[in-house]
């Protein structure tokens, strides 16, 4: 039947506990849930939360949905599909091997941010030894780190720099700004390539660049001494050859680049072929004696110099081979010849380089002759006017006499008393 109110008339005996509903004024019977032996333990009913049930210590409860506000003691919770939140857990989590959700061993699982406020280092002899080893290793690494511009100290430590052996002269990196290793060749030598502009800090000089004394730097070069040097072939490089005294060997070459080798075989008076015979380095012979004659045309000859090292150039000779003739007192007064220089040895000629002629006669003028030999060929003829006539003469080239022949002077018209004064200068040479 449908729910409806049943009228009850109050009688005698046991009371019926009823309550009047606040919404419609109807009466409802009150059912008391509790321990029938006592009047205690009545299950409370809250206006908002409803009936509150104490299940005791040996009963389970299943909640299909909703919120459990307070649980004093839970023996076990099984088959919980979702727990929205747990405000607090008063007791520590129990010990054991059971996993808590996904906090079991799950590599790579993100459990969120964790703040570790403190963590004591492990203790024990073995652990301490490992810690000491780690500290020592870190200190060794730190010993090899130096600050910029710090002076070196004795026993400073460093890190060995390794290089890669690479026989081919190619790069180990593929693009710009890549890191690259040092390279060595098959013998362990470090490869160093000099690029364009290298040495511009003070060891290189551009072609035709200006050189300033005491300030311009240059690259020094060295040489090698070898008593039996090898011969280079075309296209091969070689070191400069030096003497034991560190002097640089130098060789002359002809226009075609062929070496002209100085040789002691080409001695003085040795035969030379013009245009084909390579002559020795020029050497001058210092002498005060007679000239060193040669026996034939095109023979090698040693130049002559004075005892002070001055080169002697024709028409002059060594000082010992020069001569002078001074006019006799009164000069030439007859037409007879006068010997100015006696004949030289076989092959030796007299050369006249200059002459001074003055006529002291007051009224007679005359020709003056310089002859090759007694009454011989006239080498020079001049006019000497009376009362100081004549002149000074320099012969270039010198007057050249015949070998082993004297030099003679004479006047054509006899001056009788006051004569003609003649002075000569020259040299003698076997050429």
pLDDT in tens, the chain (431 residues): 455 555 666 666 556 666 666 666 676 666 666 665 565 556 666 667 666 666 655 566 666 666 676 666 666 666 666 666 666 666 666 665 555 554 556 566 666 677 878 877 667 666 666 777 777 777 777 777 888 888 888 888 777 788 999 998 888 888 998 988 899 999 999 988 766 555 544 566 777 878 888 777 777 777 888 888 888 888 888 888 888 888 887 777 777 777 766 554 455 555 555 555 555 555 666 766 666 666 676 666 777 777 777 877 766 777 888 999 999 999 999 999 999 999 999 999 999 999 999 999 999 999 999 999 999 999 999 999 999 999 999 999 999 999 999 999 999 999 998 899 999 999 998 88
**Inside any domain, residue 380:** yes
Residue 135's H or E segment, with its range, is: helix 125-143
**Inside any domain, residue 35:** no
What CATH number does the domain containing 401 carry? 2.60.120
Residues 296 and 393 in one domain: no
**Inside any domain, residue 62:** no
Residues 300 and 386 in one domain: no
Residues 304 and 377 in one domain: no
Residues 6+ apart with CB under 8 A from 149: none
Written in H, E and C, the secondary structure of 161-220 is CCEEECCCCCCCCCCCCCCCCEEECCCCCECCCCCCCCCCCCCCCCCCCCCCCCCCCCCC
Residue 418, class by beta-carbon neighbours within 10 Å (0-12 exposed, 13-18 middle, 19+ buried)? middle
Residues 296 and 329 in one domain: no
Residues 418 and 327 in one domain: yes
Helix (H, G, I), strand (E, B) or coil at 136: helix
* Residue of 381, 399, 394 whose CA lies nearest to 354: 394
Residues 286 and 330 in one domain: no
Note whether 252 and 260 are within 8 A (CB): yes
Residues 349 and 301 in one domain: no
Residues 306 and 380 in one domain: no
What is the CB neighbour count within 10 angstroms for residue 215? 7
**Inside any domain, residue 56:** no
Q: Tell me which of 282, 313, 344 is where a domain ends.
A: 313
Residue 431, token pair as written in the block: 């050429």
Helix (H, G, I), strand (E, B) or coil at 126: helix
Note whether 409 and 374 are within 8 A (CB): no
Residues 391 and 422 in one domain: yes
Query: Distances from the Cα of 429 to the Cαs of 238, 282, 388, in angstroms?
Result: 49, 21, 34
**Inside any domain, residue 404:** yes
**Inside any domain, residue 43:** no
* Residue of 270, 304, 299, 310 whose CA lies nearest to 289: 304
Residues 400 and 338 in one domain: yes
**Inside any domain, residue 16:** no
**Inside any domain, residue 326:** yes
Domain encompassing residue 284: 265-313
């Amino acid at each position: 039947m449908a729910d409806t109110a049943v009228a009850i008339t109050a009688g005698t005996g046991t009371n019926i506990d009823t309550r009047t509903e606040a919404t419609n004024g109807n009466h409802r019977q009150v059912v008391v849930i509790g321990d029938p032996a006592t009047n205690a333990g009545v299950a409370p009913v809250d206006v908002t939360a409803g009936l509150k049930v104490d299940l005791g210590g040996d009963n389970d409860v299943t909640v299909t949905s909703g919120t459990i506000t307070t649980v004093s003691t839970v023996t076990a919770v099984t088959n919980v599909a979702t727990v929205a939140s747990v405000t607090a857990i008063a007791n520590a989590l129990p010990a054991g091997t059971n996993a808590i959700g996904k906090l079991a061993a799950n590599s790579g699982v993100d459990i969120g941010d964790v703040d570790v406020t403190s963590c004591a280092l492990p203790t024990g002899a073995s652990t301490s030894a490992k810690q000491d080893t780690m500290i020592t290793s870190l200190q060794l690494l730190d010993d090899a780190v130096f600050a910029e511009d710090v002076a070196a100290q004795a026993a400073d430590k460093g890190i060995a720099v390794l290089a890669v052996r690479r026989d081919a002269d190619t790069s180990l990196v593929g693009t710009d700004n890549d890191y690259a290793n040092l390279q060595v060749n098959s013998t362990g030598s470090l490869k160093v390539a000099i690029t364009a502009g290298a040495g511009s800090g003070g060891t290189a000089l551009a072609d035709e660049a200006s050189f300033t004394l005491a300030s311009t730097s240059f690259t020094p070069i060295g040489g090698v001494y070898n008593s039996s040097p090898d011969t280079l072939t075309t296209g091969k490089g070689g070191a400069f050859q030096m003497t034991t005294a560190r002097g640089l060997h130098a060789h002359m070459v002809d226009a075609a680049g062929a070496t002209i080798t100085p040789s002691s075989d080409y001695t003085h008076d040795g035969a030379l072929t013009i245009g084909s015979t390579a002559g020795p380095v020029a050497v001058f012979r210092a002498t005060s004696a007679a000239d060193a004659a040669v026996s034939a045309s095109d023979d090698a000859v040693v130049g002559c110099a004075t005892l002070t090292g001055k080169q002697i150039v024709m028409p002059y000779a060594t000082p010992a081979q020069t001569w002078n003739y001074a006019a006799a007192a009164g000069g030439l007064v007859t037409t007879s010849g006068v010997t100015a220089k006696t004949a030289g040895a076989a092959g030796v000629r007299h050369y006249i380089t200059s002459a001074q002629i003055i006529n002291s006669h007051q009224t007679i003028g005359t020709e003056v002759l310089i002859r090759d030999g007694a009454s011989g060929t006239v080498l020079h003829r001049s006019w000497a006017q009376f009362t100081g006539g004549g002149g000074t003469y320099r012969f270039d080239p010198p007057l050249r006499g015949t070998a082993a022949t004297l030099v003679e002077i004479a006047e054509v018209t006899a001056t009788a008393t006051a004569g003609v004064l003649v002075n000569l200068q020259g040299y003698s040479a076997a050429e």
